[in-house]
Structure 1
Amino acid sequence: MAPDGTTPDAGPESGITPATIRDLRAADPKMRARDFAARHGLREGQLVAAMVGHGALRIDAHPDRLMPLVHDLGDVMALTRNESCVIEKRGIYGDYHGGPHAQMVLGEEIDLRIFAQHWRHAFAVTEPGEEGPKRSLQVFDAAGDAVHKIYLKPESDVAAYDRLVAALRLPDQSDAMAVDPRRPVEPAKINSDKLDILRDEWGRMTDTHQFLRLVSKLKMNRLGAYRAAGAPMARALDTGAVNAVLEGAARDGIPLMIFVGNAGCIEIHGGPVEKIVPMGPWINVLDPRFNLHLRGDHIAEVWAVDKPTQRGPAISVEAFAADGALILQIFGYRKDAPPDAWNALVATLPGAAA
């Protein structure tokens, strides 16, 4: 048993049969699925797979086939998470764009960047709830970790959900899931010999999307480039800066773009934040159609990053975990207002201690 009281992550070698998983779950139905899986040495996808025939059903996971039918559900809740942050948005899945490498949902409220190679397993799940059946669509990667989830709300179209399930049901309805090892997070990678080139080409960027291509070409990664370039391109901030940004934006009415994701999906909130509620280690945004749940104690590094674009500087606040994983990115929302207030807010954030 691990120091935190959980069983070490045994993944596919856990030896627990689907029937045993169901019995364990029946004895402990209220624990969050992710926490329950970790406690028993499982991946969350294995827990859901074990419920096939008992409230869950396997469906086609590819977004090209799933997303056009999700649109018909109407108003739903979209959820994407990583190890340290959960984002939840209410809205309609509109304006889906397929593609060979990446896909997008560009709805007014639901805004996603999708990487279909990681959408390996999908389930339609019906669970008992306090107000009747709780219906969801849940997608997992090859390691059995959640990529994206869609929860029906009282306003959603249940008949459309039933049609989706009938259309996408797979012949294979196995209640077991073989999972791959998790890919380790790449730590900060710096190529000191290319530092001058990094700073020079960074200064000549015209679009933020050029950044990752640049650092990859120089044999670095995002966090390594921030550490290497330093101010004024990347300024290390105090780890409390994310909370300060959210509270400042709520206080001053500054709209934001908040990006939270994993390898298979990035979900984006564009607009105001209003109700910031700390609860123990969690920093929460609890707005009517947008929730954010961030483990503040997981934040090891925060950077204020300035990337040049044709429309002027794109300034972001970006948080990383101790292993180098990107937790979230926050930008000013340019659609409704110039970024002046956002840029001024970022400039007030305290730097990291030496």
Structure 2
Amino acid sequence: MKSTLSPDRTELKERWAEYKLANPKSRIRDDAKALGTSEAELLATGLGTNVQLLAGDFRELIKEMGSLGHVMALTRNDHVVHERKGVYEKISFNNHVGLVLGEDIDLRLFLGDWKFGFAVSENDRFSLQFFNSFGEAAHKIYLTEKSNKEAYDALVAKYLAADQDVNLFVSEKKEKVAESEEAPGLDRPAFQQEWLALKDTHDFFTLLRKHNLSRKQALRNAPEGYAHRIKPESMKPLFDAISETGLPIMVFVSNPNCIQIHTGPIKKIFVMGPWLNVMDPEFNLHLREDAIDEAWVVRKPTEDGIVTGIELIDKDGVMFNQFFGKRKPGIPELAEWPALIEQHAIQL
């Protein structure tokens, strides 16, 4: 069904075309910011041409992702992009919370606010792209040269919205409020005791909620020896050391709607402008080093021993990137991981 653009969409499409002419290397997320709109609204200007609106229960659509075969999963936030190739396997949902637990593609999905879905064709590159109610990208899935294009076409046809001539209405996001440096009213001894009694790293979120703490507030009040800051510029030497040793690690990137995890080594490391990049055949990471306001080494007790993580936090107090040594429940963390951090991370 061919779409007739509304006057608003036509005007936005024209403004975007002008902006792209002046900024040919700019990405759609940055274009949206510059034009005072959302990525989903920009993408919707292509309805009727190279973009198709999807409808239905996105949980059911995700359950069928395995039919596409080898694809590239992309999850990002304002400061880091995580791209992992592989197959969607072991997919399950509990209400709106989903798991994808393949060897390569490893996701935690929070579909409560997956509002818009699109099938997109750009220069013979095909993708499924999902956005939240604010028009921000939740998760994207790109076909590769090994993907099953016929299965992709069948999925798009199955979940195609009947009405392709629609205006998107996105919610306005509240301005972020700067957090307090301190944690007024915190029972610090109780908080520290509960930290030391943790049995699972996932219980840390419950601990923060119980004591009404932001991430930074919690780390500043950690038990002695369980959290310390490192210089943000430590990340490049750390990446280089991981590459040289071949140590398998876990790289977590999250936004409010998805967490994407890479487990394995990282090899090809290079810096381009503000971006620290991993460019391996099956895994790419693009990290804006200038977005790191604070970098922390954090130690959490579990039933399998201490788990050591690196957490990157931006100026708004949002943790946007995490790194661990490769591990699975029931197996202690690799001893080489904390030793590598100790050797290459520059402590503040």
TM-score, normalised by the number of residues in structure 1: 0.89
Verify: 1:182 aligned to 2:173, yes or no: yes
Q: Which 10-residue stretch deviates more, 225-234 or 259-268? A: 225-234
SS in 1 for 2:235: helix
Quick check: 1:122 aligned with 2:117?
A: yes
Q: How does 1:146-161 map to 2 (within 5 A)?
A: 146-161=137-152
SS at match of 1:342: helix
Per-residue Cα deviation, 1:218-260 (whole angstroms, up to 9, x for no partner)? 1112221001226411111111122232122112111110100
**Could you tell me how far apart the structure 1 residues matched to 2:297 and 2:272 are?**
25
**What is the rounded CA distance, in whole Å, between the counterparts of 2:332 and 2:306 in structure 1?**
15
Q: Counting strand residues as a fraction of each chain, which structure ranks higher?
A: 2
Q: Is 1:111 matched up with 2:106? A: yes
Q: Which moved more, 1:92-101 or 1:222-231?
A: 222-231
Q: Is this contact kept in 2: 1:185–1:325, CA < 8 A?
A: no
CA, structure 1 residues 222+338, in 2 after alignment: closer, same or farther (shift >3 Å)? closer
Cα distance between partner residues in 1 of 2:197 and 2:307: 13
- Could you say which residue in structure 1 is the equivalent of 2:235? 242
- Tell me the residue number matched to 1:39: 34
The residue matched to 1:20 in structure 2 has which SS? helix
Match of 1:296 among 271, 277, 289: 289
User: In the superposition, relative to structure 1, how do residues 243 and 61 fare at CA in structure 2: closer, same or farther (>3 Å)?
Assistant: farther
Q: Please, which of 306, 320, 325 is the counterpart of residue 313 of structure 1? A: 306
User: What SS does the aligned partner of 1:214 have?
Assistant: helix
1:98 equivalenced with 2:89 (yes/no): no
- SS at 2:172's partner residue? coil
Answering whether residue 53 of structure 2 is matched by residue 58 of structure 1, we say yes
User: Larger deviation: 90-99 or 215-224?
Assistant: 215-224
Distance in 2 (CA, whole Å) between partners of 1:314 and 1:185 is 31
Deviation at 1:318, TM superposition (A): 0.4
1:338, distance to aligned residue in structure 2 (A): 4.9
Question: Equivalent residue for 1:270?
Answer: 263
Q: CA deviation at 1:44?
A: 0.5
Once residues 245 and 339 of structure 1 are traced to their aligned partners in structure 2, the CA distance between those partners, rounded to angstroms, is 16
For residues 284 and 245 of structure 2, the distance between their equivalents in structure 1, rounded to whole angstroms, comes to: 19
**Aligned-residue CA RMSD (Å):** 2.0
Q: Matches of 1:241 and 1:192 in 2, distance apart?
A: 34
Q: Counterparts of 1:62 and 1:252 in 2: how far apart (Å)?
A: 44
Measure, in 2, the Cα distance between the counterparts of 1:141 and 1:117. Answer: 9
Could you list the runs of 5+ residues in structure 2 that have no partner in the other structure? 1-5
Q: CA distance change for structure 1 residues 261 and 186 in 2, over 3 Å: closer, same or farther?
A: farther
1:61–1:120 Cα contact (<8 Å) kept:
no
CA-CA distance at 1:42 after TM superposition? 1.2
- 1:152-190 deviations in Å (ceiling 9; x for gaps): 111111110111011111223234211112244465562
Q: Is the 8 A contact 1:281 1:297 kept in 2?
A: yes
| Identical counterparts, % of pairs | 36
Report the CA distance shift for 1:101/1:232 in structure 2 as closer, same or farther (over 3 A). Answer: farther
